[in-house]
Amino acid sequence: MSFRWYGANDNIPLSYIRQIPGVAGVVSALHGIGPGQVWPVADIVRLRGEIRAHGLELSAVESLPVSEEIKAGGAGRDRDIENYCRSLRNLGTAGITVVCYNFMPLVDWFRTDLEFPLPDGSTTLAYDEKKACHDPVPAESFRLPGWFTEYGREEFAGLLRRYAALSEEDLWKNLAYFLAAVVPVAEAAGVRLAIHPDDPPWPVLGLPRIMRDRAALERLVGLGVGVANGICLCTGSLGADPGNDVPEIIRHFGRMGRIHFVHLRNVKVTGDHSFYESGHLSAAGSIDMYAVMAAIHETGFDGPVRPDHGRSIWGEKGRPGYGLYDRALGAAYLAGLWEAIVKQG
Ligand code: DNO
C-alpha cells in the first residue's frame, strides 16, 4: 500500500504518511522537471533517499510526463522520446521499477467542480457533462491542481486548434510510435510502464481521448512491444463509465500480467457522463470495492496500489483530491478489505 506525495510542494509531511496504518510505499515524481526533459540519476536517488529516511520506499514514479510533441506527433517528438528513454534508464539505475504516465492530450484529469458539496458537509471533485465547458477557451489562464502546466488563454486556444486536426486513430499511431521506442528501453532497464486511463473516460473539450475501456486496453497490450507495456488500473477513472466492469477488467488484464500499478477509489455515477468522487467505501459509490480487491487478490498482483483521491473532510484545506484525512481513511478501509480477503483465502 502506497500513498501519493508531491515532494517539496506537498503540505503533508512524510512523517505523517508513515503513520497511516499499512502504508509502506510512496508514489512521487520530480515535479520540478517538465515534460520532455531528462530526469538525472542524482535527483531520483535524492528523492528515494528522502523517502527512505522516513522508513518508506519510493514504490512507483507518477508521472514521468509525456510531452505534447510526442502526443501530437510533432517535429520535436524524436528528441523528446530520446530524453524519455534517458529518463527511463536513469530510473532503472536508481532502482525504480514502476513508472506511470498518461497519453491524454493537453489536459490530464478533468472535472467541472473541485468543491462539490456532499450531504455530510464534505466536498469532493465532480464532473457534470451539462457544465463541461461550452466555451472551451477559458477567460484567463487554465489549470487544474495536479496538472503540470498552466496555460495562457491564447496558448491554450492554439493547442486546442493543433489537436482539432488529430483523430483518435492519429493519437493511437502516436502512442504506438512512442511505445515502440520506449518499451524495449524500459524492459532493459527493469522498469514497467503503466498507462493511466483517460479520466474521465470520454473526450473532453473536443480533445481526442483513447484510453477509455477494456477494448482500448486490449488494443494497448496487443501492440506487441513487450510486457513492460502495461496498465495503471485506475478504478475511479474506468468506473465513471458504468459500461466498464472494473473487477472483470482487473481479472482479465491481471491474469495477463499487464497491470503494473493500481489506483483505488470510488465514484458515484449520477447520470450520463456525470459523477462525483465518493468516499472509498462500496456503500458510498457505484463501484463494489470488495469485488475490486478480491479481483486483485485473485490475480496474485503484488505491485504498488494507492488510495486515490479523497474528499475534503474535517475542515482540511489542501490540494483537491489529495488531502491527508480521507485518503488515509481509504487506505485503512482497503487494508481491512484485504485482510478479510486474505484470511478467507
Ligand atoms: C489524478 C491522477 C492523474 C495521474 C496521471 C498519470 O489524480 O491519477 O493525474 O497521475 O494521469 O500520468
Tell me the CA–centroid distance for residue 343 and ligand 1, in Å. Answer: 32
Half-sphere exposure of 176 (CA within 13 A, CB side): 12
* Catalytic status, residue 54: no
Q: How confident is the model at residue 52 (pLDDT cuts 50, 70, 90)?
A: very high
Q: Model's pTM, two decimal places?
A: 0.95
Query: Ligand 1: which of 2, 67, 196 to mutate, most ligand atoms within 8 Å of CB?
Result: 196
CA dist 17 and 79 (Å) reads: 37
Residue 181 has pLDDT above 90, yes or no: yes
- In one-letter notation, the amino acid at residue 67 is S
Place of cell 463494489: 288
List pLDDT tens digits, range 196-208: 999 999 998 889 9
Q: How confident is the model at residue 136 (pLDDT cuts 50, 70, 90)?
A: low
Instruction: Give the 3-state secondary structure percentages of the chain, helix then strand then coil, rounded to 5.
Output: 40, 20, 40
Class of domain 2-344: alpha beta
Report the DSSP pairing between strands 305-307 and 259-264.
parallel
Tell me the CA–centroid distance for residue 220 and ligand 1, in Å. Answer: 18
Domains of the chain by residue range: 2-344
Residue 135 has pLDDT above 80, yes or no: no
Ligand 1 atom showing the smallest separation from residue 321 Cα = 7
User: DSSP letter at 54?
Assistant: T
Choose among 92, 126, 105, 103: nearest CA to 285. Answer: 126
